[in-house]
Amino acid sequence: MAGMTISKLSKMKASRDKIVSVTAYDASFAKLFAQCGIDFMLVGDSLGNVVQGQSSTLPVTVEQIAYHTEAVRRGAPDAFIMADMPFMSYATPEQACVEAAKLMRAGANMVKLEGGDWLLDTIRTLVERSVPVCAHLGLLPQSVNVLGGYKIQGREQSAAENTVRQALALQQAGAQMLVLECVPSSLGQLISQKLDIPVIGIGAGAQTDGQILVMHDMFGLNSDYLPKFVKNFLADADDLQSAVELYIRQVKDGSFPGPEHTFE
């Protein structure tokens, strides 16, 4: 795990070595993930749901993400850590710079933003000012009120083509990674093939360059509702470490996600 960089992640894509990621919110789990060999961790605004008990990610603040990023960094000093920029923290390029700086100072190596065309100027501005950016397309949890709920995206031909176009534009603007959430596996495969940057899927099929899961989902802790793309790895393991190692192994060998975890 020591010394993971965006250039190493890009080389993993080129050599078809699957990238494995998970969300992390505290020092203890960050240390466990690092010891198991997770390629990178995301301090996700999903903490609103799984840590705070909110009904969505919208109440999460930059200060809260920074607090958890600091904790994860202390637990995994050498890890590659991505931090989510929460709802309305990047409404303008200028605001994005101010808020991203807080997350980078807290220990992030990269920030993640949700959205397409409207973000191009913001991404250019951040990258010019030495803030690495991961883009996020497909299902956008921060846009849940606009999307009308948590639904699969990109099923219609026009929507799929638009997603591909936006992915290429985000890469052109300077994004160095892309998270693709809840899209048909064929679209996940197509975007991964078209982009030079690593494409990390969550509910986007097995043909993306890597996979990410919310930590609590991976351990089956949200048993009242498990999305289709989630697998409880703890159910087939004796302890937390074995569950993480199983997750890594199954992503690397291509057995997760299986057909039962993907959308067509």
CATH number for position 118? 3.20.20.60
Which residues are designated catalytic?
181
Torsion of CA 137, 195, 191, 252, to 10 degrees: -100
Q: How confident is the model over 220-241, as a mean pLDDT?
A: 88
Predicted pLDDT at 223: 63
State whether residue 181 is helix, strand or coil. Answer: strand
Residues of the binding site for 3-methyl-2-oxobutanoate = 45-46, 84, 112
Residue 141 lies in a domain: yes
What range defines the domain where residue 155 resides?
6-261
pLDDT of residue 62: 98
Instruction: Read off the pTM.
Output: 0.96
Residue 172 CA to residue 167 CA, distance in Å, equals 9
In a domain, 53, yes or no: yes
Q: Is residue 151 part of a domain?
A: yes
68 within domain boundaries: yes
Section 154-175 average pLDDT = 96
Q: What pLDDT shows up at residue 218? A: 95
Residue 115 φ/ψ region, left for φ over 0, alpha for ψ in the -120 to 50 degree band, beta for the rest: left
195 in a structural domain: yes
Mean pLDDT computed over every residue of the chain: 95
Give domain status of residue 1, yes or no: no
CA 167 to CA 195: how far, in whole Å?
8
Residues 184, 257: Cα–Cα separation, whole Å: 13
Average pLDDT estimate for 168-190: 97
Region of 215 (left: φ > 0; alpha: ψ -120 to 50; beta: rest) is alpha
Instruction: Count how many domains the chain has.
Output: 1
Is residue 63 assigned to a domain? yes
Q: Taking a C-beta distance cutoff of 8 angstroms, is the pair 85, 112 a contact?
A: yes
The per-residue pLDDT for range 21-49, each reduced to its tens digit, is 999 999 999 999 999 999 999 999 999 99
Contact by Cβ (8 Å): 100, 69 = no
Binding residues, by number, are 45-46, 84, 112, 114
Residues placed in the known binding site for Mg(2+): 45, 84, 114
Take residue 188 and report the two structure tokens written for it. Answer: 């996940």
Whether 228 is covered by a domain: the verdict is yes
Q: Which two tokens stand for residue 67?
A: 């607090």
